[in-house]
Amino acid sequence: MHKNIQEILLSEEQIRNRIRELGVELLRDYGDKNPVFICILKGAVVFYADMIRAFDAHCEMEFMQISSYQGTQSTGSVMILQDVKQDLAGRHVVILEDILDTGRSLQAVCKYLEAKGVASLKICAFLDKPEGRAPGITLEADYVGFPIPNAFVVGYGLDYDEAYRNLPYLGILKPEAYAK
């Protein structure tokens, strides 16, 4: 375990098993629809890669990069830094996201993608932190890997100032590791 990790919340094995289960769920719902899976960069890239491999049917890949966090805090505004490249009109789209926290980012992304005329739009979140929702945000994920407590987590793609993304597990970061 990394010295700045307070505790391991989800082990590699727990993550691997849940990814397989999510793959079965998505295959059941989208196996015949040629969905477009959108990765929200950078945090979801590890989850995305594993989910794509767990989906045993034809699909297409797209990427978006947004910005809404500074350090451990949401800024309250969402900027699209990289947009999808293909036309999504009439397509079945599944957003693969690392964490549904305040909900502001995903709500903005969903509105943006719906305006492109998608046939359907669903959210598959690796983590769901219901206690972190911003007031007035009612957005929920359609598929959830794990609900988690209101703690700052890193690993499996999630970071603190670009560090810890490469940890193969999900851990709670020690407060002194990000206190400034």
Cα–Cα dist 68/7, whole Å: 26
Burial letters 139-153, b for 16+ CB under 10 A, else e: bebebbbbebeeebb
Catalytic residue, chosen from 29, 50, 83, 101, is 101
DSSP for residue 71: T
Please confirm, yes or no, whether 161 is among the known catalytic residues: no
Tokens read off for 80: 């699209």
Sheet holding 153-154, edge to edge: 5-10, 170-173, 153-154
- HSE, side-chain direction, 13 A CA sphere, residue 134: 14
Active site residues: 101
